[in-house]
Structure 1
């Protein structure tokens, strides 16, 4: 069993490493200009109905953008915006928002 898992695990790890390298936060920052009205360039939402994206997990953002693009998830604005995004652009955007560090201060 171990012999069969090793090649499969190697392939999975290689794909994960490629995917991590393919995402460029700086390219995502440039693309985020179209997101700033609602989500803010810094990932802090500007309108009450938009979620904050700063520090959000990259895989989550990618999954949601792809769902909007495919029509699996619908929203008046997001469906239109995501429709024209490539997989690469989605990865860049997700990497940008994930790269933003968020801190929280607990009340005393």
Structure 2
């Protein structure tokens, strides 16, 4: 019985270690995302404020939302002439970094008087 308990504890430790390594491998880095965003700035702006009328603002947008949309463009689930091409070669890490960058931009709104 003691041997079975030790095996279970060892398995739990191994699983926890593997999950921790996987999570840290995809830890988003906004600084890296900023570097990658240089290819996005023509349409979305480095500051996340769209430069053309058909592009959405990304500043302050949810990291999860941006990641989901980029992955949808990458997989072909969502289609757009430009975004499908841009997202096609992005890795999961690059997508996480881009999303972290745009989410990290603080935006403010002022109500009209």
Structure 1 unmatched runs, 5+: 1-10
Equivalent residue number for residue 81 of structure 2: 76
Equivalent residue number for residue 26 of structure 1: 31
Deviations, residues 39-93 of structure 1 (Å, cap 9, x unaligned):
0000000000000000000000000000000000000000000001000000000
Q: Which runs of 4+ in 1 moved over 4 A?
A: none
Alignment of 1:1-40 (within 5 A): 18=23, 22-40=27-45
Q: How many aligned residue pairs are there? A: 94
Greater Rg over alpha carbons, structure: 2
Residue 95 (structure 1) shift = 0.1
| TM-score, scaled to structure 1 | 0.82
Structure 2 unmatched runs, 5+: 1-15
Give the SS at the match of 1:61. Answer: helix
Q: Partners in 1 of 2:54 and 2:34 — Cα distance?
A: 22
